[in-house]
Amino acid sequence: MLRRIERRGLGRVGFSDLFHALMTMRLAALVGLLALGIVAMNFLFGTIYWLTGGIGGARPGSYGDAVFFSVQTFSTTGYGVLYPKTILANSVASVEIITGLLSTALATGLLFARLSRPQARVMFSKIAVIHPVNGVPTLMFRAANRRRNALTNAEMTVAMTRDEIDPEGNNLRRLLDLTLVRDRSPAFALSWSVMHRITESSPLYGLDAEALAREHCVFICVLTGLDDTLLSTVATRHIYNFTDIKFGARFVDIFDRAADGSFAIDYTRFHDLEE
């Protein structure tokens, strides 16, 4: 994963980027926040009814009846037992009905936007390895489609970031693209072994584990493709830190082919390595 970054000199965005904050928080936290907002709104209007009165069928001075009338009004239920009987109570009820309708529409739209957002279900290997392939040192990691469909025209890009010092002594954070043996798959359905050959033209040429740590190398892997089921472009990202690179190891074989030509893939060994 990416290193923690401390952003100095930036003020809080506040409510100016509220939609992004709601779209990026955990779904359970979003549902809880919406539920808490509805409860708070009902207690707010219930307090107003309790202070102003004018609710027919309510027990005199009953705060509970005022809150329950607020719930019925906010949800536009209206059982008929509790009802507004004064101009002030009808005015407050009208405001609450409008507030309830708008709140329901906003909450529904926000939840729909969260739940309908296309997402890729791709699993990356926990470790990336560097070992010889056909006599050439090769950086390799695995990716697997966790859904039972395929990603059409899937494309993988890998970039490496490293700390460098230029001739003038300035500290730089350089972003370098890694050329892959195969960066595109017409139908990504099962597993994909992503490989980068470490030749003289590679940014990794001549680097060992100590050099990767010294330069704080980070590998950013981005996979994009068209989901056959959703007919939408999906993307996912995975980060390999320099501590996630293992030299002199390779992945174990996870494919098993039967005599009839069919084969199976064992995801329980997806992350397993061998020397």
Do 124 and 168 contact (CB within 8 A), yes or no?
no
pLDDT higher at 159 or 21: 159
Most confident residue range from 155-169, 203-217, 257-271: 203-217
Average pLDDT, integer, range 80-92: 93
* pTM for this predicted structure: 0.74
Q: Above 90 in pLDDT, residue 146?
A: no
Position 34 confidence tier, pLDDT thresholds 50, 70, 90? very high
**How far is 55 from 83, CA to CA, in rounded Å?**
6
Position 1 confidence tier, pLDDT thresholds 50, 70, 90? very low
Position 260 confidence tier, pLDDT thresholds 50, 70, 90? confident
Do 180 and 158 contact (CB within 8 A), yes or no?
yes
Beta strand 218-227 pairing with 151-165? antiparallel
Query: What is the token pair recorded at 196?
Result: 């980068």
